[in-house]
Amino acid sequence: MANNGDSIKITNSVSGNATILALGKAFPQQLVMQDYLVDGFFKSTNCTDHELKQKLTRLCKTTTVKTRYVVMSEEILKNYPELATEGLPTVKQRLDISNKAVTQMAIDASLSCVKVWGRPLSSITHLVYVSSSEARFPGGDLHLARGLGLKPDVCRIMLAFTGCSGGVAGLRVAKDLAENNPGSRVLLATSETTIVGFRPPSAQRPYDLVGVALFGDGAGAVILGADPVPGVEKPLFELTSAIQQYLPDTEKTIDGRLTEEGIKFQLGRELPQVIESHVKEFCKKMLKGTVCSGAEYNDLFWAVHPGGPAILSKVEGRLQLKPDKLSASRDALRDFGNASSNTIVYVLENLVEESKKKREKGEEDSEWGLILAFGPGITFEGILTRNLVC
């Protein structure tokens, strides 16, 4: 790695920083193939607008998504036909479905993660729960803790309505908890569903079709802790430093509102350009004064939340990254769509697999990298990360 001509000495020890000890994911049963989405969506919503159907067909091709998982099903629409009817107050029905679904997916993802981790649930001391898909109190953090059978004195925190940056925000919060509570083990869980924003197509809301073509449902989970137990825990990534920044006067670019009809959500067309204009300075700020200060961007690995193909292309172009540098993000987008806060977990899993394959082949692998996400605000989240996969 370049560093203004100076060599960097790296030891194999983890310096007390939080580490990612395990990753997990879970999905609803309904798998949607992108090639069949358009016909199914227009049939289920009883829409015959040919122009809107053509528009959605074009969007589905440009998103690069191939498969996604969704909570919405024929059975749900049969039981709740009002969800496919324009203008009806359905927020109660949507939240009843969503609250139950996100909790179950979070439980499944957490159990999967704990199984990989190899230690008992009773070792979890803190819980961070992230979701933009529910609204209730007690919040989903308590429902998840109860569903997992965690101890009543587990310290909980919930991050709500953080959107696509929520997963990295959750990592940042979990990192602080792990580092400031010696011996702690933090479970981070994210869970999202698009059912709260499901609406029939309308010529008055053509931007809704972007969400139909792009977003997916699911859950992710991460176990974090400092000072991994030798021979028991196998750290994957060390989280060295984390920062957050919002861009003034951009709060309308990613706009979501909870209404009687559910969440009304709109992405501004300028979003990829706004991210492009600010991502380089944000990365410079994140690297300044660190072991990677002055590093060439192509010497790092990249875990970027795949908000969409345009965002990934703008980041790649602005930072002059080689095409393979964002392959983990593009593969996650292809397989799962933009699953909001969950997606960064899928990207990190892809990076782990990439690292293992490279090391099996004896190929050089980047030791240091950046985790990035962009959400409402517009908010940038970033973490400087060290690859510990062996």
What is the residue-level pLDDT of the chain in tens, covering all 390 positions?
Answer: 433 333 333 334 456 899 999 999 999 999 999 999 999 999 999 999 999 999 999 999 999 999 999 999 999 999 999 999 988 999 999 999 999 999 999 999 999 999 999 999 999 999 999 999 999 999 999 999 999 999 999 999 999 999 999 999 999 999 999 999 999 999 999 999 999 999 999 988 888 899 999 999 999 999 999 999 999 999 999 999 999 999 999 999 999 888 999 888 888 899 999 999 999 999 999 999 999 998 999 999 999 999 999 999 999 999 999 999 999 999 999 999 999 999 999 999 999 999 999 989 999 899 999 999 999 999 999 999 999 997
Catalytic residue among 60, 113, 164, 292: 164
| Residue 341 bridge partners (DSSP) | none
Query: How far is residue 333's CA from residue 133's CA, in Å, rounded to a whole number?
Result: 19
Token readout for 72 is 């919405």
| Residue 375 bridge partners (DSSP) | 379
Is 113 marked active-site?
Answer: no
Token readout for 224 is 């974090």
Quick check: helix, strand or coil at residue 389? coil
DSSP state of 205: -
- pTM (two decimals): 0.94
